[in-house]
Amino acid sequence: MFTKVAARSFSSSASSAYKVAVLGANGGIGQPLSLLLKLNHKVTDLALYDLKGAPGVAADVSHIPTNSTVSGYDPEGLEQALTGSDIIVIPAGVPRKPGMTRDDLFNTNASIVRDLAKAAADYAPDAAVCVISNPVNSTVPIVAEVLKSKGTYNPKKLFGVTTLDVLRASRFVSEVAGSNPVHEKVTVVGGHSGITIVPLLSQTEHKSLDQETRDALIHRIQFGGDEVVQAKNGAGSATLSMAQAGARFTGAVLDGLAGERDIVEPSFVDSPLFKSEGVEFFSSKVTLGQDGVSTVHPLGGLSDHEESLVKEAKDTLIKNIQKGVDFVKQNP
Ligand code: NAD
Ligand code: LMR
């Protein structure tokens, strides 16, 4: 706490100093994500927590000369790690091995995320929570149910991080189009697994791809995670690209909290878009503001093909979301 107060007192305005906690900071994602967050000048207090090893990661990144204090915490320090956090990023949990789906991680990761959500509710009830741990389609509802049970749920401040799908879409589209990926902006909606990932190519300049090329591109975006899992051959899933995605999304949430305007990223949030059809959470573009989500944007115009992809995604999402809700009901 002292470090945060000290940092704020030296900043020109209170809205340029933020505490970010990374839960699972010693992992394949956690380490590079911590590095990238150390490079974000809005972060003045970086709290790194893991079951083991976080103090070492903290000592390492703390030598980078940016204006933030870095602290590492083992389990007995969870309260201290979380207290005063503006954003909590959660990459804690096990990754896939070849042959597994993200849903196969549910049994292990559901309880990890549930317990961290309980701690978040107890020690940082106002923090924005960014969930990376898979299966995101279920872990986000798990966090929501826990926070509801604790009376601290703020739907504007809970995010499933789907940014890696957006990064992949930019990259893979550029490979097909021969364009610069930096300039390829693709909106990806739905959820974060297989067919629930729906890139809206009709909203890009590449709406006239032949059907075979289009379908192959969509499939690659939907199953890009498998490429990495297979290439790592048992050593885990995407970590470095995910760290970049997580840092970009956390940076966008920070920009919104700081009052910057027109900060828009897709994210899997408590969404009004398809609630009437029973889909409580859905990823679409959201505008990020000082209180978290300020606007959940509609999907915009879709091709007939995209309409059918979104429909399929919704059917699967309803089941994935219910699985998370049921887990918390049965295992409070
Ligand atoms: P990893 O095994 O390398 O690291 C996970 C870390 O979490 C480990 O350091 C472990 O000690 C820690 N951990 C486990 N239980 C914990 C707990 N209760 N409290 C604190 N820390 C705990 O795995 P990884 O490659 O970093 O992946 C982490 C998760 O992120 C996986 O579930 C993976 O599927 C998911 N992931 C999501 C996306 C996405 O786009 N949202 C992308 C890649 C990976
Ligand atoms: C990804 O999309 O790379 C992650 O969700 C990890 C995985 O299991 O594929």
Indicate if ligand 2 lies below 6 Å from the C-beta of 166: no
If asked whether residues 206 and 272 sit together in one domain, one would say: yes
Q: Which of 144, 161, 178 is the last residue of a domain?
A: 161
Minimum-distance ligand 2 atom for the alpha carbon of 105: 8
Name 188's bridge partners: 199
- Judge contact between 114 and 327, C-beta under 8 A: yes
Of 12 and 165, which is predicted with more confidence?
Answer: 165
- Cβ(199)–Cβ(221) under 8 Å? yes
CB-ligand 1 contact for 271 (6 Å cutoff): no
Q: Is the CB of 114 under 6 A from ligand 1?
A: no
Contact 71, 7 (CB under 8 A): no
Residue 6 above 60 pLDDT? no
The answer to whether residues 141 and 226 belong to one domain is no
Is the confidence at residue 11, as pLDDT, over 80? no
From residue 34, alpha-carbon distances to 107, 135, 143, 253 in Å are 26, 22, 22, 16
CA distance 44 to 4: 7
Atom 9 (ligand 2) nearest CA: 225
Considering the chain, what is the average pLDDT of its residues? 95
User: Do 257 and 179 fall into the same domain?
Assistant: yes
- DSSP-derived letter for residue 126 is T
Is 111 in the same domain as 191?
A: no
Q: Is 99 annotated as a binding residue?
A: no
Both 313 and 233 in one domain: the answer is: yes
Q: Give the closest residue (by CA) to ligand 1 atom 31.
A: 95
CA–centroid distance, residue 157 to ligand 1 (Å): 21
Strands 69-73 and 87-90: unpaired
Q: Provide the token pair at 225.
A: 């995670």
pLDDT computed for residue 208 by the predictor: 86
The residue whose C-alpha atom lies closest to atom 13 belonging to ligand 1 is 92
Domain boundary among 161, 183, 212: 161
Is residue 2 in some structural domain? no
What pLDDT, on the 0 to 100 scale, is given for residue 16?
73
pLDDT, tens digit (0-9, with 9 covering 90-100), for 110-152: 999 999 999 999 999 999 999 999 999 999 999 999 999 999 9
Co-location of 242 and 295 in the same domain: yes
78 & 139 share domain: yes
In ligand 1, the atom with minimum distance to the C-alpha of 237 is 25
Q: Judge whether 10 lies within some domain.
A: no
When pLDDT is averaged across residues 30-36 and rounded to a whole number, the result is: 98
Domain membership flag for residue 328: no
Are the C-beta atoms of 22 and 49 separated by less than 8 Å? Answer: yes
With a 6 Å cutoff on the Cβ, whether 267 touches ligand 1 is: no
pLDDT (0 to 100) of residue 195 = 98
How far, in Å, CA of 58 to CA of 240, rounded?
18
Q: Ligand 1 atom closest to Cα of 136?
A: 41
> b/e per residue, 295-308, with b = 16+ CB within 10 A?
ebeebeebeeebee
Q: Does one domain contain both 32 and 134? A: yes
- CATH of residue 151's domain is 3.40.50.720
Q: Is 132 annotated as a binding residue?
A: yes
User: Which ligand has the shortest distance to the CA of 139?
Assistant: 1
pLDDT tens digits, 170-203 = 999 999 999 999 999 999 999 999 999 999 999 9
Q: Does pLDDT of 1 surpass 50?
A: no
Query: Best mutation site among 88, 133, 159, 249 for ligand 1, i.e. most ligand atoms within 8 A of its Cβ?
Result: 133
Residue 330 tokens, joined: 């049965």
Cβ of 168 less than 6 Å from ligand 2: no
Using one digit for the tens of pLDDT, what is the confidence trace for 53-78? Answer: 999 999 999 999 999 999 999 999 99
- Does some domain include residue 1? no
HSE-CB of 68 using CA atoms within 13 angstroms: 29
With respect to residue 330, please indicate whether it lies within any of the assigned structural domains.
no
Are 217 and 6 contacting, i.e. CB atoms less than 8 angstroms apart?
A: no
- Does 35 share its domain with 140? yes
Q: Is the CB of 96 under 6 A from ligand 2?
A: yes
Whether the model pTM is above 0.80: yes
Lowest mean pLDDT among 10-19, 139-148, 246-255: 10-19
Which ligand gives the minimal distance to the CA of 106?
1
9 located within any domain? no
pLDDT digits (tens, 9 = 90+) for 75-105: 999 999 999 999 999 999 999 999 999 999 9
Domain boundary among 161, 178, 198: 161
Using the mean position of ligand 2's atoms as its centre, give its distance from the Cα of residue 42 in Å: 28
Q: Are residues 244 and 288 in the same domain?
A: yes
Using the predicted structure, report yes or no on whether residue 7 has a pLDDT greater than 70: no
Confidence of residue 2 (pLDDT cuts 50, 70, 90): very low
Question: Which band of pLDDT confidence, cut at 50, 70 and 90, is reported for residue 15?
Answer: low
User: Which domain, by its residues, includes 218?
Assistant: 163-323
192 is catalytic: yes
- 145 and 225 belong to one structural domain: no
Q: How many domains does the chain have?
A: 2
* Residues 175, 252 share a domain: yes
pLDDT at residue 148, as a whole number: 98
Q: What is the DSSP string of 260-318?
A: -S--EEEEEEE-STTGGGT--EEEEEEEEETTEEEEEPP-----HHHHHHHHHHHHHHH
In this structure, is the dihedral angle defined by the CA atoms of residues 300, 305, 309 and 315, taken in order, positive or negative?
positive
The CATH number linked to 227 is 3.90.110.10
Catalytic residue among 41, 63, 183, 192: 192
Q: Look up tokens 């920009």; give the residue.
A: 255
Q: How distant, in Å, are the alpha carbons of 2, 289, 293 from that of 84? A: 10, 19, 20
CB count within 10 Å of CB 210 equals 8
Distance between CA atoms of residues 86 and 120, nearest Å: 11
Pocket test for ligand 1, best of 88, 229, 237 (most atoms within 8 A of CB): 237
With a 6 A CB cut-off, is 30 part of the ligand 1 pocket?
Answer: yes
Residue 181 lies in a domain: yes
Cβ 91 under 6 angstroms from ligand 1: yes
Helix 224-232, helix 211-222: angle, nearest 10: 60
**Distance separating alpha carbons of residues 220 and 305, to the nearest angstrom:** 16
CA dist., res. 26 & res. 308, Å (int):
40
pLDDT for 14 equals 41
Instruction: Tell whether 3 is covered by a domain.
Output: no
Residue 45 β-bridge partners: 19, 69
